[in-house]
Amino acid sequence: MHKIFIRSFVSSLVFLFTFTVASVAKDVKAAFVYIGPTGDHGWTYQHDVGRKAVEAAGYKTTFVEGVPESADAERVLRQLANSGHDIIFTTSFGYMNPTNKVAKEFPNVKFEHATGYKREHSNVSTYAARFYEGRTILGTIAGSMTKSNVIGYVASFPIPEVIRGINSFTLAAQKVNPNIKTKIVWAFTWYDPGKEAEAAKALIDQGADIIAQHTDSTAIVQIAEKAGVYAFGQASDMDKFAPKAVLTSVENNWGPYYVDRVKAVANGTWNQKDTWHGIGDGMVVISDLDSALPADLKAKVNQLEKDLASGKVHSFTGPIYDQKGNLMVAEGKTADDGMLAGMMTYVKGVEGDIPK
C-alpha cells in the first residue's frame, strides 16, 4: 500500500529520467551517499576512491556529498532510489534509520549501509571494516618507537568502534613495551581540523611523543610534524602531509567490496549480508612503513600483518584485563565478534574514564 502510494506520486520528470537512463544502458547503476566532502582526505575521500573503482569496473555511479544525518538523508535516498539506481551505499552510521525506511519502499533497490547494525528488510546489507586489526600494527610500532612511554590518542566519540580501536592499539603496544600509557583526548567530532589540532597539542604538552588518531583530518599529523613527534595516518595514506611524522597509515580500502557488490547486483546474485572484513580481505590496508623504523621492527610488523591476515594472530587474545584488573578475555581465548561489537570498557593501561 505504502509503496503503491509513493509510486503514484513519481513525477513525469523524474519518471522521464528513469526511463532515459534505463533505455540508454541496461547496466547497473550505483549511488553513494557521503557525510562529508569528497576532498576530506579521510572517511569520505576513501569511500569516493571506492566509488571510482566501481566506475573503473565499468559501472555508472552517482554520489551526493555533504548529506546531513538530519531529515534530509531520507529525501536524498528516496530520490536516488527513484532515479534508476539499483544499489545505494550509505556511508555513515547516522543514515541507518532512513536507509531501512526507504529500503522498505523500494524492494527492488539494494541498500548497503556502512557501520550500522539494522537490516530490517531483505534488501538491506551492512558492512564495516575491522580497523582494529590495523590498530594492532600501529600499537606495535608505537610501543617500539616511544621514548617517553606516553602515547597520545585523539578519539572521536565513545562508541564501541572507537573504544575497540583504543584497546587494540594499547594491547599491542603493551606487548612490546609493558611500561607504556595511552592518554586519550576526546575531540567529539569525526572531522574538525581545529579541534583535532588542539587535542594533538594538548597531548604533546602532556609528554606524548607519538600521536594516534581516530578522527579524519590531516591536522594531527601536521601538528606532529611541526612538534617533531611521530603520528599515524587515518583512513588514507597521509604520508604526503607529514613525511617525517607519519610512520604509517591505516587505509580504508572499500573498492574491492564495492565492485564485488555492484557485480553481484548485475549478476543477480546479490543477497543480504553482514560484512566485517579486515586485513585478510583487503578492506584494511597498511601503508608503506616509514624509513624511521629500524629494520627488525619493519620485519616484525610485516610478519604481524601476515599473521593478522591469515588469522594466526588475533588482536584480542587473552589474557586481557580491564582498567580495574577484572579479566575480560581468558588466557588462550580470543574475544568473539559479539564482545567486540559492544566493547565499552578500556583495557588496563589506558588512562582516564570513558566519557558518560
Partner 1 sequence: MENLIKIIKRDQPSRTIFFLTPVLAIFLTLVAGGLIFYILGFEPFEALKFFFIVPIADMYGFSELLLKATPLCLIAIGLSFCFKSNNWNIGAEGQLTFGAIVSGGVALLFYNQEGFYILPIVILAGAIGGMLYASIPAILKTYFNTNEILVSLMLVYVSKLILDYLVVGPWSNPEGFNFPETRQFSDSARLPLLAEGLRIHAGIFLALAAVVISWFIFYKTYLGFQMKVSGFSLKTAKYAGYKGKKMIILVFLISGACAGLAGVGEITGPIGQLHREVSPDYGFTAIIVAFLGRLNPVGIIFASLIVAITYLGAETAQIFMQIPKYTGQVFQGMILFFLLASDYLLFFKIKFIGSKK
Nearest to 321 by CA among 299, 345, 304: 345
Q: Is 276 in the site for partner 1 (CB under 8 A)?
A: no
Burial of 291 (0-12, 13-18, 19+ CB in 10 A): exposed
Contact residue for partner 1 among 65, 260, 307, 351 (CB under 8 A): 65
Nearest residue (CB) to partner 1, 164 versus 181: 164
In the complex, the smallest distance separating the C-beta of residue 77 from partner 1, rounded to whole angstroms, is 10
Residue window 21-50: x/- pattern of binding to partner 1, with contact defined by CB under 8 A:
----------x-----x-------------
Does residue 93 belong to the site contacting partner 1 (CB under 8 A)? yes
Among 23, 26, 71, 296, binds partner 1 (CB under 8 A): 71
Whichever of 78 and 314 has its CB closer to partner 1, that residue is 78
* C-alpha cell, 215: 578522527
Question: Distance between CA 200 and CA 222 in Å, rounded?
Answer: 10
Q: With CB under 8 A as the contact rule, which of the stretches 4-12, 218-226, 253-261, 295-303 interacts with partner 1?
A: 4-12
Which of 28, 29, 100, 51 lies closest to 252 in space, CA to CA?
51
DSSP-derived letter for residue 75 is H
**Under 8 Å CB-to-CB from 19, ≥6 apart: which residues?**
none
Burial of 311 (0-12, 13-18, 19+ CB in 10 A): exposed
Nearest approach in angstroms of CB 356 to partner 1 is 5
Q: Quick one: 101 or 244, whose CB is closer to partner 1?
A: 101
By CB under 8 A, residue 352 contacts partner 1? no
List Cα–Cα distances, 57 to 50, 53, 109, in angstroms. 11, 6, 20
269 near partner 1, rule: CB under 8 A: no
Nearest in space to 282 (alpha carbons), one of 137, 172, 134, 142: 134
* Spatial distance between the Cα atoms of 115 and 97, rounded to a whole number of angstroms: 12
Q: Binder to partner 1 among 18, 27, 52, 97 (CB under 8 A)?
A: 97
Decide if residue 63 touches partner 1 (CB under 8 A): yes
Strands 124-129, 284-286: pairing kind: unpaired
Angle at the Cα of 91 (from 269 to 183), degrees rounded to 5?
Answer: 130
Tell whether the torsion through CA atoms of 41, 116, 121 and 336 is positive or negative.
Answer: positive
In the complex, least distance from residue 309 CB atom to partner 1, rounded to whole angstroms: 27
Distance of closest approach, residue 247 Cβ to partner 1, in angstroms: 30
Instruction: List the one residue from 18, 27, 74, 282 that touches partner 1 (CB under 8 A).
Output: 74
**At its nearest, how many Å lie between partner 1 and the CB of residue 16?**
10
Interface with partner 1 in residues 120-179 (CB under 8 A) = 157-160
Q: Is the Cβ–Cβ distance between 169 and 135 less than 8 Å?
A: yes
Which 302-341 positions form the footprint of partner 1 (CB under 8 A)? 341
Residue type, 12: S
- Is 12 an interacting residue with respect to partner 1 (CB under 8 A)? yes
Per CB under 8 A, 67 contacts partner 1: yes
Number of residues that bind partner 1 (CB under 8 A): 45
14 binds partner 1 (CB under 8 A): yes
Q: Which residues of this chain interact with partner 1, rule CB under 8 A?
A: 1-2, 5-6, 9-14, 17, 31, 37, 62-72, 74-76, 78-80, 83, 93-94, 97, 117, 157-160, 188, 341-342, 344, 355-356
